[in-house]
Homo-oligomer: A and B are copies of this chain.
């Protein structure tokens, strides 16, 4: 129907990460409209960006030995609701850079506007976005 399912490419992920570095997480629309990585994300909506970031964060999350919901397998198609205490990650919720292939280099570009954000975590813009 509408979406045959479009898998995210490495370039798109890189663009998203660069966008989050520049604007901070939560500024999906701004990231998408950015003249630099925006073009890489023309086929993605702001919601898509948000969803992708969520998925990336989840997989980058190092959860494992904690507590699993301990699902009670009552049978097939059983829906177990898990209203656990969500995550209380006090850590800087930043880039889950966990790429097996580092195919980035050079340091082109530069800024365009660096405003906002900042405050708590001392973070710098070291992410180099090579384009797509």
Contacts and interface: CB of A to CB of B under 8 A. Distances in A.
A107 B78 contact: no
Interface residues of A, number: 10
Contacts of A69: 1
| A interface secondary structure, majority | loop
A81 interface: yes
Contacts of A107: 81, 83
A83 B107 CA distance: 8
A77 interface: yes
A78 B77 contact: yes
B81 A105 contact: yes
Given A76-B77, A77-B79, A81-B107, 5 more contacts: A1-B69, A77-B77, A77-B78, A81-B105, A83-B107
8 contacts: A1-B69, A76-B77, A77-B77, A77-B78, A77-B79, A81-B105, A81-B107, A83-B107
